[in-house]
Amino acid sequence: MLDNLEKFTKLKRRTAGIINIDPLQRGGILTPEAKDAVLEWADGYSICDFCTGAMDKIQNPPIKSFIHEVLPEFLDVDQVRVVHGAREGKFAAMHALCKRGSCVVADGNAHYTTLLAAELSGLKVERTPVSSEPEYKIDPEGYRVTIERAIDLGDEVDLAVLTYPDGNYGNLADAKKVSQICHDLDVPLMLNGAYSVGRMPISARDLGADVIVGSGHKSMASCGPIGVLGARDEYAEKIFRRSQLVPNKELELLGCTLRGAGLLTMMASFSHVVERTKHWDDEVQKARWFSDRMESLGIILQGVRPHNHDLMFFKSDVLYEISNTAKKGRYFLYRDLKKRNIFGIKPGLTKQFKLSTYLLSREDLQTVADSLEDIIATYTKT
């Protein structure tokens, strides 16, 4: 194997002329400034040339100001650190705040990494109810029911998690009510903002979140893996506690986290990211306009209505029926969209799939809708 390594160099990713509607990809596209930054700072420990002992205290480049001043203001929370991603942030918070064997209550739509973070921290997970289709709604009262039931069964509930929005339906639950209910029951709330922080305006304080995580590669135009982890002082003290063996290092972060270019891409993109959150209403309008068009084709939006996020889940009997007779069966949709340079719906999916309209032009979205209309027409005719 070690004789034939040239195949790992010069690997290309086709992006030019392509419309990518994968929700995972839409918010992580680098700005031109971040592209400059990634090249400028690409060497291994590049950001550590002027380190005096901790990454978050580096003043040249101005990481300290970014982490300790800018990010807390942006998230409206007391303290923030940069971590490897939202999942690593969730693990750090759970591992630091929850007693092993205790219980985390998460929304029924929680991302799988919430379950992994809890399991790796030695915690049980109880999930709140989700309403039936097509809404898949998280009722804040579900937190009260689930927390109280866990306590009744003898569990200690040390943390609640709300995925805001969830990564399947793009539903934004009433976070404020959730936090009130959790706080009534003396349970702190962590907000998983992987699909919100960097896309829409978010104030941890207003929503009552005690801890918040966001994803740089998912929603902050950053070269990943990178994320943010913010917390109110009370919880930040525990999560960002110093090591007993190495007293100048933050234990839960193993000293330093992002020791490379990713952080500089987040910084370089940040003025764009702040700006784009101000135009969130336009993104929501665009998503609604697109989903109306989809529904006219018989591709039906799931989730709460009116829909408030660019991430959308659709069900489509019409595409599923075509797959029953089409050449290549259920792969026809992927293949036919690929022919039209549209990517992002996973190969093999027809009956239901998610997509995102985030930062795509109406013209591109028109192309996507027209293509689907065209594909359906082709098969319906024959």
Which residues within the stretch 26-65 sit at the binding site for its own copies (CB under 8 A)? 27-30, 33-46, 48-49, 61-62, 65
Write out the DSSP string of 271-340: HHHHHHHTTHHHHHHHHHHHHHHHHHTT-EE-SSSS--SSEEEEE-HHHHHHHHHSTTGGGHHHHHHHHT
- For its own copies, the closer of residues 212 and 318 by Cβ is 212
CA distances from 204 to 42, 63, 193, 209, 233 (A): 32, 22, 10, 5, 12
170 φ, ψ (degrees, to nearest 5): 70, 25
Contact indicator for 250, 240 with CB cutoff of 8 Å:
yes
CA distance 381 to 371: 15
Should residue 341 be labelled a site residue for its own copies when binding is judged by CB under 8 A? no
- For its own copies, the closer of residues 255 and 298 by Cβ is 255
- For its own copies, the closer of residues 205 and 305 by Cβ is 205
Should residue 243 be labelled a site residue for its own copies when binding is judged by CB under 8 A? yes
**Touching its own copies, residues 169-198 (CB under 8 A):** none
List, in order, residues 6 or more apart from 91 with CB less than 8 Å away: 116, 117, 120, 121
CA distance 204 to 233: 12
* Single residue of 128, 163, 168, 257 touching its own copies by CB under 8 A: 257
Write out the DSSP string of 17-82: T-EE--HHHHTTPPPHHHHHHHHHT-STTGGGTT-SS-GGG-TTTTHHHIIIIIHHHHHTSSEEEE
* Single residue of 58, 66, 168, 322 touching its own copies by CB under 8 A: 66
Should residue 2 be labelled a site residue for its own copies when binding is judged by CB under 8 A? yes
* Smallest gap from residue 202 Cβ to its own copies (A): 13
* Single residue of 64, 177, 183, 259 touching its own copies by CB under 8 A: 259
Should residue 15 be labelled a site residue for its own copies when binding is judged by CB under 8 A? yes
List, in order, residues 6 or more apart from 79 with CB less than 8 Å away: 68, 72, 230, 231, 232, 233, 236, 240
Could you say which DSSP state residue 196 is in? T
Should residue 17 be labelled a site residue for its own copies when binding is judged by CB under 8 A? no
* Single residue of 192, 196, 265, 357 touching its own copies by CB under 8 A: 265
* Smallest gap from residue 295 Cβ to its own copies (A): 27
Should residue 200 be labelled a site residue for its own copies when binding is judged by CB under 8 A? no
Should residue 258 be labelled a site residue for its own copies when binding is judged by CB under 8 A? yes
Stretch that binds its own copies, among 85-93, 154-162, 354-362, 365-373 (CB under 8 A): 85-93
Should residue 268 be labelled a site residue for its own copies when binding is judged by CB under 8 A? yes
Should residue 85 be labelled a site residue for its own copies when binding is judged by CB under 8 A? yes
- For its own copies, the closer of residues 75 and 187 by Cβ is 75
* Smallest gap from residue 195 Cβ to its own copies (A): 12
Should residue 204 be labelled a site residue for its own copies when binding is judged by CB under 8 A? no
* Single residue of 134, 201, 255, 298 touching its own copies by CB under 8 A: 255
Asked whether the CA dihedral 112, 192, 287, 295 is positive or negative, the reply is positive
Helix (H) or strand (E) holding 83: strand 79-83
Q: How many residues bind its own copies (CB under 8 A)?
A: 92
Should residue 381 be labelled a site residue for its own copies when binding is judged by CB under 8 A? no
Asked whether the CA dihedral 50, 54, 59, 61 is positive or negative, the reply is positive
**Touching its own copies, residues 96-135 (CB under 8 A):** 100, 112-113, 115-120, 125
CA distance 144 to 178: 9
- For its own copies, the closer of residues 161 and 301 by Cβ is 161
